[in-house]
Structures are given as C-alpha cells and as structure tokens.
Amino acid sequence: MSLMKDLTNGIYKENPVFKLALGMCPFLAVTTSVENALGMGAAATFVLIASNFLVSLFRNLIPSKVRIPCYIVIIATFVTLVDMVMHAYLPALHKSLGIFIPLIVVNCIILGRAEGFANRHPVLNSVADGIGMGIGFTMAMVVLATFRELLGNGTWLNMDVLGSAFQNQPLLIAILAPGAFILLSFIMGFFKILETRKGGCQ
C-alpha cells in the first residue's frame, strides 16, 4: 500500500519539476524535441533508481557527516556507467543525447531524492520512489517537449503533424531558449489554477 503511494507520489502530487521545481537545468535544456526528452528521461530514471537503491542500502553504514560527498560519488559513478555503456552498445542514441548525459550528475532531483527520501526509507520504498520520480520527471519533460517541438518544428517525435506549410514558417521562438522559459511558466501557471480549483471545491 505504502509502496504504491511512494510510486505514485512523484508522478503528480510531488512532481519533481512542476511542484518541487527540481532538475530545472536538464529539463529546460533537453526539451527541444520529444525524442531527447524520452532519452534523457530514461537515462535519468535509471540513475535515480540505482542511486536510490544504493543510498538506501547503505544508509546505516555511511556516516552522516560525509553522506553528501558519498552520494555524489555514487551518482557520478552511475552516470559515467550509463555514458560508457550507451556509447558502446547504443551509439546512435548516445550521439543524440551525448552532451546531456554528464549533466545528469548535477540534476538536483537525484541528489535531492537521495538526501530527502532514500537515506531514511527502506530499500523497496526508495526504489519505488525512484521509479515514480523518474516517471514524473520524464512525463514533465515530454509535456514541455511536445509544445516546443510542435510549435517550433511542426513535428511530434519526428512525425510530421502540422504539415509542410507550417514547417516552413514555424514558431521558432518555442524551440529557442526563451520558448522553454515562457512555456514552462504557462504550464506551471496552469497547474496552479488546477490546484486552486480543486482547493475551492473541497
């Protein structure tokens, strides 16, 4: 029961991006296309689950004074592992995601969940939390990437959606840096409205 709660927690109630405002840098940087968002989401989810698992497993062995450096080392190790394995076995995916993978290290969602959840919860719950947070992060990225790719390029997941007439004169701003900020602001505002509506009904 509580496992289920930990799993779904990250997807909506404590969505890392829209609610906790964590992991903004990779979130804004890779959402230029849905494909990148999915790839980044998969890589980050893997690192999140693995680091939550290890941190939770050794939570009683690591002295609390040096826990943050230890967590950072664990996270950086997994990121480098993902980088190397992907480069060797999935070169095409690595090519399109290459620059974003090292950025996972400084994704504050991962350190935040290690520090905020995994170091005081049992292994299974921590893994569930990792999965939930990872899905929540990926979904948030896909939402923003959908808007940016559709408006800025006229495609979705590289599929033609809005036709060639639009593609010749797309809303370029959406795919450029300002578009990420502005669209994120609107999405966050939308979530806020949803919340106040819900609060009003109760």
The residues binding another protein (CB under 8 A) are 21-22, 24-26, 28-29, 32-33, 36, 62-63, 65-66, 68-70, 72-74, 76-77, 79-81, 83-85, 87-89, 91, 95, 98-99, 102-103, 105-108, 111, 149, 152-153, 170, 172-173, 175-182, 184-186, 188-190, 192-193, 196
Q: Which is nearer to another protein, 3 or 66 (CB)?
A: 66
* Closer residue to another protein in complex, CB, 65/198: 65
* Shorter beta-carbon distance to another protein: residue 1 or 99: 99
How far, in Å, CA of 6 to CA of 168, rounded?
A: 45
Please, what's the largest Cα pairwise distance for the chain? Answer: 61
Least spacing, CB of residue 62 vs another protein, in Å: 7
Q: Which is nearer to another protein, 4 or 161 (CB)?
A: 161
How many Å apart are CA 58 and CA 86, to the nearest integer? Answer: 27
E strand spans, the chain: 155-156, 159-160
Minimum separation from the CB atom of position 21 to another protein (A): 6
- The distance of closest approach from Cβ of residue 134 to another protein in the complex, given in angstroms and rounded to an integer, is 19
**Nearest residue (CB) to another protein, 3 versus 81:** 81
Any residues with CB less than 8 A from the CB of 28 and at least 6 apart, and which? 177, 180, 181, 184
Nearest CA among 160, 144, 184, 187 for reference residue 33: 144
Q: How far is the CB of 7 from another protein (least distance, A)?
A: 26
> What is the amino acid identity at position 199?
G
Closer to another protein by Cβ: residue 8 or 29: 29
Query: How many residues are listed for the chain in this entry?
Result: 202
- Retrieve residue 52's tokens: 């939550």
> How many C-beta atoms lie closer than 10 Å to residue 151's C-beta?
18
Q: In the complex, what is the shortest distance from the CB of residue 10 to another protein, in angstroms, rounded to a whole number?
A: 18
Q: How far is the CB of 179 from another protein (least distance, A)?
A: 7
Determine the distance from the C-alpha atom of residue 19 to the mean position of all C-alpha atoms in its chain, rounded to a whole number.
13
